[in-house]
Structures are given as C-alpha cells and as structure tokens.
Amino acid sequence: MSLYGTMRTGVSGMNAQANRLSTVADNIANANTTGYKKASTQFSSLILPTTGGAYNSGGVTTDVRYSISAQGTFTYTTSATDLAINGSGFFIVQGSDGIEYLTRAGAFTVMDDGSLRNTAGYKLMGYEYSSTADPTIVINGYDGLSEINLKSAAPSATPSTSGQLDVTLPSNEPHPYSKATSLVAYDSLGNTRKLDFTYSTTGTAGAWSLAVTYTDPDTGTVSTLATQALTFDSTGNLTSPASGTITTSSLTFGVGAGAPVLSGLDISIGGSKQLNQDFAADGDINGSGPSEVSGYEISADGIVSLKYDNGDLIPKFRIAMANVQSPDNLTPLAGNVYSQSNDSGVIVMGYAGNSGYGSILSGALEDSNVDIAEELTSMIESQRNYTANSKVFQTGSELMEVLVNLVR
C-alpha cells in the first residue's frame, strides 16, 4: 500500500465532497428561482489495479446531473403574462445575442418595446396567429419564429358584417299596419350607424314587406339598404325568403378614399313568425367601435389574445414550445436557460396541448424543484464526509513524516 496513494485517495474524497457541497449551495441559493431545476452530484469509484498482493487505493469521481425533467409545484399570480408549463416541454426564448434557448422560467413582463421578457431578460418567441391554419413548423430548428410583441396593440374597431333579427308580427292587425324596430351597426371606422327595419302589411294574409333604411342624422336623408317580401304559412312560420336571410347594400358616408363604409350585411331573419300577439323583436349585429387594450389573455394551447375594453378578444400570436429526447442532458446556462447538447437529442418543435407537450397555465409560475430539507441533509453529510476524508489525508501525512524520519 502506498502512502502517496492513501493521501491521493483522501484528496479525491475531499474534492468529491466539495463538488457535492457546491451543488447543494447552488440549489439552496436558487430555492426560490422560478423554473430552477436542481443539480445533484453522483459518485462513482475509481479502482486502480492491485499488483504483487499490495492494495493500490484508487479514489472517487463525481458527475453532476440535473433534474430538468422533474416538474416543480405552481405558484399562482394575478399577471396573465406569468406562464407555467403543466407537463413536458420548454418555452423558446431569445437572448440579447440573438440565439434561441429553452427555459421553464415563465415570469414574463410586457416591456416598453412590446416584447415579453422574463426576469433574466430573455424574449418569448412564437408565431403570428392565423385563424385559417397553423403556421408551418420547422420540426428540428427555430426557423420561422418571431418575437411575441404586443406594441402594435393600438385601439381597434371591428366593422359589422352580419347580424340576426327575429320578430313576431301580429296576425290580426287591420291593414294598413306598419311597425319599425332598429339595430346599431358599425362602419369601417367604428362609427355607430342606426338601421331601421320597418315591417308593413300588404293586404294579403300572411304577406308582409320589410324595408331596411338608414337616416342621416345631420341631413335627414333616408337611404334604402334592402327591401324584402315576407310570407308566412298557416302555422306562422316564415316561408319566404327561403334562405331566411336578407342582404343589405353597402353605404359610403362622405366622399374620398378615407370615407367610412358600412359594408353589406347578411341579416338572418329565419326565426321570425306571424302570430296572434303583439309585435316583438330580438336581434343583434356584430362589430364594435374603437376600443383600447385593457389586458391580455393566454389560453392553455398558447394563443396570446388582446383583450379590449368592449370585451373583444383578438388573437395575435401563438406561443411555440420545444422538447428534446433527454431533457436532463441539456446544457444549463446562466439565466435559467438551456441549450442542446450532444446527449440531449435534437430540438423538436410543437405547440402546447399537442402530443408530447404540456398545457400552458396563465397567471402561474413553476417553482424551483429544490427540497430545502433534503439539501440541508446533504450538506451535513458532505461536511461529515469531508472531515473524514481530511482525517485520511492527515493520517497519511503523519505516517509519511514517520517514514521520512527513519532515514535521518
């Protein structure tokens, strides 16, 4: 047995315990860091060959592992842009270097430039929303991503395109009889336009005429937007128009390219009836006037929508997500982000809620998965083991001193 080997083994043990203490210190320091994944030190023995019947002491080596795939608990907040992933996957964020990274730290805040950045300064990435089709995903790369930017959230107006008006017409009123009701529509600039719907008898049982008009409040000019003959069967149900829909003509208010336009509206009247009771009406037209953004809403499948004062919810972006075959082998970097490594597997892109990806929780943050009690226990064990290894080294040193003194 070599005394040098004994001392070397003691040093190896101290170094191993120092590595363990380093991971414990990191874990305790980040116990309250959003999305932090704990590190742990794994030990393996180093065996040297025994020769001539003499034992040749080896030592211990360490390997640091990260519990990236272990999900933490959730803390719920009042901010819609605080995000957590319930299940597998990572947010894709971009650093100031223009490079994309993966993270579970979802404490995002809307900045002055409209970007969504987490506490480490990384920008959230995704795709512009389309109501007709999902954007094409580059499965193994970040091409096609853009930053989710809400700076363009200016006041919004939605022009009217369709509506519904169901009335009950009194069957026993003597001819001539006329009754009007009104609905408000919105033109291309968000101005309100009151449309009058006037129902008149024709002198024939079950037959009425409907006129849709607009009266200019300034000049009193009346514009007729639609006329329609209505017929009802003996049970009071509408039989004409067979489609149950009338379409109004467009109307331009003023002259020039910037003049507001009320586009032609498709008004459903199929639920109208003729019965022996008083006139009644129920209906609505879509669209809205100018409205300021009052907040944001992020759905479980990652669709980012702007919420307006008038209650409208306009989708703008869809958050992209990514995953790898072996998340625990990703390379951790400063700022609680990860990059692909040779052992993690390739980046696979997708959406929240799709196969292999968790759902997004808005108004929630994923806590660190560090267990303080477990870390304190590890710290005490490492301290005790470090002391024991130092005793081995000290003993070997003392014996070495005895051996040196023998030759004096």
Q: How far is CA 20 from the centre of its chain?
A: 37
- Per-residue pLDDT for 270 more than 60? yes
Buried b (16+ CB within 10 A) or exposed e, 34-73: bbbbbbbbeeeeeeeeeeeeeeebbbbebeeebbbeebbe
| 235 & 354 share domain | no
State the Cα–Cα distance between residues 35 and 72, nearest whole angstrom. 7
The CATH number assigned to the domain holding 211 equals: 2.60.98.20
361, burial (CB in 10 Å: exposed 0-12, middle 13-18, buried 19+) = buried
E strands, 233-272, where? 238-240, 245-247, 251-252, 261-262, 266-268
116: helix, strand or coil: strand
Residues 217 and 260 both lie in one domain: yes
Taking CA atoms, 350 is separated from 51, 82, 285, in Å, by 57, 20, 37
- Whole domain around residue 283: which residue ranges? 157-291
Residues 131 and 226 in one domain: no
Same domain, 117 and 165: no
Q: How confident is the model at residue 258 (pLDDT cuts 50, 70, 90)?
A: confident
The closest of 69, 61, 82, 67 to 19, measured between CA atoms, is 61
Q: What is the pLDDT of residue 135?
A: 64
Q: What per-residue string of b and e applies to 317-344 under the rule 16 or more CB within 10 Å gives b?
A: bbbbbbbbeebebbebeebbbbebeeeb
Encode pLDDT of 45-73 as tens digits.
887 777 666 777 778 889 999 999 999 99
- Kind of pairing between the strands at 59-66 and 39-46: antiparallel
Q: Which of 239, 260, 291 is the last residue of a domain?
A: 291
Residue 254: band (very low, low, confident or very high) from pLDDT cuts 50, 70, 90: confident
Tell me the per-residue pLDDT of 335-392, one tens digit each, with 9 for 90 and over.
999 999 999 998 988 888 887 899 999 999 999 999 999 999 999 999 999 999 999 8
Domain-terminating residue out of 291, 307, 338: 291
pLDDT at 154: 63
pLDDT category at 224 given cuts 50, 70, 90 is: very high
CA atoms within 13 A on the CB side of 234: 0
Q: With 70 as the cut, is the pLDDT of residue 1 above it?
A: no
In contact, 206 and 274? CB cutoff 8 Å: yes
pLDDT tens profile 141-195: 788 889 998 876 567 788 999 999 999 999 999 999 999 999 999 999 999 999 9
CA quadruple 272, 251, 290, 132: dihedral sign: positive
Our CA dihedral for 344, 346, 351, 354, rounded to 10 degrees, sits at -80
Please determine, for residue 320, whether its predicted confidence score (pLDDT) is greater than 80. Answer: yes
The DSSP annotation for 52-70 comes to: TTB----EEEEEEEE-TTS
CB 147 within 8 A of CB 117: no
Last residue of a domain, one of 236, 264, 291: 291
CA 273 centroid distance within chain: 46
pLDDT confidence tier of residue 332, bands split at 50, 70 and 90: very high
Q: What is the total count of domains within the chain?
A: 3
Are residue 273 and residue 387 in the same domain, yes or no?
Answer: no
- Is pTM, for the whole model, over 0.85? no
Round to whole Å and give the CA distance between 119 and 34. 9
Same domain, 273 and 195: yes
* 176 and 283 belong to one structural domain: yes
Please give the average per-residue pLDDT across 134-141, as a whole number.
68
Is residue 117 domain-shared with residue 81, that is, in the same domain?
yes
Q: State mean pLDDT over 242-255.
A: 94
Buried b (16+ CB within 10 A) or exposed e, 275-308: eeeeeebebebebbbbbebeebebbeebbbbbbb
Question: pLDDT higher for 158 or 263?
Answer: 263
387 shares a domain with 304: no
Q: Does residue 281 have a pLDDT over 60?
A: yes
- Kindly state whether residues 169 and 280 are assigned to the same domain: yes
Task: Tell me, rounded to whole angstroms, the distance of Cα 1 from its chain centroid.
Answer: 63
Tokens for 250, please give them. 């467009």
Predicted pLDDT at 134:
67
Is residue 402 located within the same domain as residue 287?
A: no
Q: Token pair for residue 406?
A: 């023998």
CA distance 357 to 268: 42
Looking at the structure, do residues 256 and 172 belong to the same domain, yes or no? Answer: yes
